[in-house]
Amino acid sequence: MNQHPAASLTRPRNAVVILLDSLNRHLLGAYGATEFETPQIDRFCASALRFDRHYAGSLPCMPARHDILCGALDFLWRPWGSIEVWEDAITYWLRNAGVVTQLISDHPHLFESGGENYHADFQGWDYLRGHESDPWKTAQSECAIGAPLHQVLPGPFPHEYDTNRTWFKREEDFPGPQTMASAARWIDENAGRHQRFFLMIDEFDPHEPFDTPQPWACRYRQAQGADEHQPLLVWPPYAVDAIERGVLTAAQAQELRNNYGAKLSMIDHWLGRVLDAIERNRLAADTAVILCTDHGHYLGERDIFGKPGVPLYQPMAHIPLMIRWPGMAPGRRDMLTTSVDIHATIADIFGVSAAHRTHGRSLLPAIADPGQQVREHLLAGVWGREVHYIDRSHKYVRAPAQANAPLSMWSNRWSTMPQHHVPGRRLLPPDRRARIDFMPGSQVPVLRQPFVEGDLLPLWARNLRFSGNHLWNLDADPREQTDLAGSALEAEYAHKLHAALRAIEAPDDQAIRLGLGV
């Protein structure tokens, strides 16, 4: 009888997950890019397995973290939210198994309504303050002038970061560097003191704002001939046809891209502190290290910026994944993988399993054998938008058949991303149309709120203009220029998508909304 490939694979004692938010695969040297400098990521990749067909699942930020920490696709049931009463994060099961768990993060959405309990089952957590929407400081520093050296152009609305940044006096004060320094310090203080540990570093860089101190601020803008004393453009618009419609000039578009590159290079530099700490504490021999992201970020590809309501083109959906495994030679892996598989892999490392229904596949067989396939397909999307079916050769994008309805939101915690900059804007409460239902595999009642045409939808699904269905052959057409929608092949992929939705018992209104039947 043939032994399963993963059976002979040595399980590491520890695991470290390093999540860099909005990390664009196509801009990393490890994946062949030359536009920006990422020597530490490249250094890590040189000792790791590089996964070449890794894709986002649920988007954006918190849904992606739900995929990784809970292992269940989020986007078909709700737009954004906390851990629900019918499920637990992987850290709950790790703590029960005696694994020491630590979270180190500067990600503000983890500590606000809509994401406030993902940290709760970590044995320890450290929140580094001041990034993006973090309600940290209520008044500017008295020494704000000249610190942190560069002024920035205002964003489209007042932001907590406008005040927070005045308290950053030097590079070490910025949230990203603080997070990496804290992680390196935790490794130094904890290495060898626990039988097993799980460390998650959830770093919000290089997510916007693309604000950096010198020498990073002018690292790439000087090469374009920009005035180094001009205020930085750090807030990207969320826009389609941005240059064509005059939302940005070509020069502004290039500056935004350069400033993303500056932040990418800065956080890459500080990542080196973590890698050095792992090495000097001799953890490589018994610690798996996973470097991943939640999704990409459009920086002018197809004249798109930010994360607007468009299909998940490759810059957004096709994301990096690297895993350094003790005793495993570096190399490449070409099998199809997605974010929920990271959860399954962590569970497999530590020998635990979730009680709720999950959708991930452990990557241990693929780590052991490059010829092993993990999955035949994956599903990806944002709640209330197109649903994407991706296999090894094609990406199928299915839009609503007519109106973007019916839809339903399933939640007992009833929250979404706060929008404090818009007074009075919040998720509307459930109404009398809501009913009790049950998540697949669960006996816990859940509130299911329907939405029909004309209802105000939750954030991320509002004011959308769909471009129809799309089908691309990713092997022959990686830039997604030749749309095969409308061909005989589309009917085949529509059937595959419908079967995939049924297989995970997705809400029946999703298939109806997409024109796939019941």
pLDDT of residue 146: 46
- In angstroms, the CA 182 to CA 223 distance is 33
- Same domain assignment for residues 399 and 330: no
Q: Determine the structural domain holding residue 389 and report its residue range.
A: 379-514
- Which of 378, 412, 432 terminates a domain? The answer is 378
Tell me the residue type at 335: M
Q: Are 54 and 319 in contact (CB under 8 A)?
A: yes
What pLDDT score was predicted for residue 154?
78
Residue 8 domain flag: no
Confidence of residue 443 (pLDDT cuts 50, 70, 90): very high
| Residue among 265, 337, 313 nearest 28 (CA) | 265
Structural contact between residues 345 and 363, judged by C-beta atoms closer than 8 angstroms: yes
| Domain match, 395 and 358 both | no
In this structure, is residue 125 part of a structural domain? yes
Q: pLDDT category, 156, cuts 50, 70, 90? A: confident
Residue with the bigger pLDDT between 464 and 317: it is 317
Final residue of a structural domain among 378, 400, 430: 378
Residue 116, pLDDT above cutoff 80: yes
Looking at residues 114-127, what average pLDDT do you find? 96
Instruction: Verify that 344 and 452 share a domain, yes or no.
Output: no
Q: Helices (DSSP H) in 281-396: which residue ranges?
A: 314-317, 340-350, 364-368
Residue 38 and residue 171 in one domain: yes
Residue 212 shares a structural domain with residue 336: yes
Q: How confident is the model at residue 453 (pLDDT cuts 50, 70, 90)?
A: confident
Mean local confidence (pLDDT), 230-250:
94
Instruction: Tell whether 400 and 359 lie within a shared domain.
Output: no
Flag whether 6 is in a domain: no
- Mapped onto helix, strand or coil, the DSSP state of residue 486 is coil
331: Cβ contacts below 8 Å, ≥ 6 apart: 49, 50, 370
Look at residue 90 and tell me if it is in a domain.
yes
pLDDT digits (tens, 9 = 90+) for 381-438: 999 999 999 999 999 999 999 999 999 999 999 887 777 766 667 788 899 999 999 9
Q: Are 127 and 106 in contact (CB under 8 A)?
A: yes
Residue ending a domain, among 360, 378, 396, is 378
Query: How far is the first Cα of the chain from the last one, in angstroms, to the nearest whole number?
Result: 42
Q: State the chain's mean pLDDT as an integer.
A: 94
In a domain, 5, yes or no: no
Residues 181 and 295 grouped into a single domain: yes
Which range, of 89-103, 194-208, 211-225, 322-336, averages the lowest pLDDT?
211-225
186 & 86 share domain? yes
Amino acid (one-letter) located at 201: I
Q: How many CB atoms lie within 10 A of CB 492?
A: 13
pLDDT at position 223 over 90: no
- In total, how many domains does the chain have? 2
CATH for 181: 3.40.720.10
Q: Answer for the pair 125, 102: CB distance below 8 angstroms, yes or no.
A: yes
pLDDT reading at 180 higher than 60: yes
* Burial of 145 from C-beta contacts in 10 A (0-12 / 13-18 / 19+): exposed
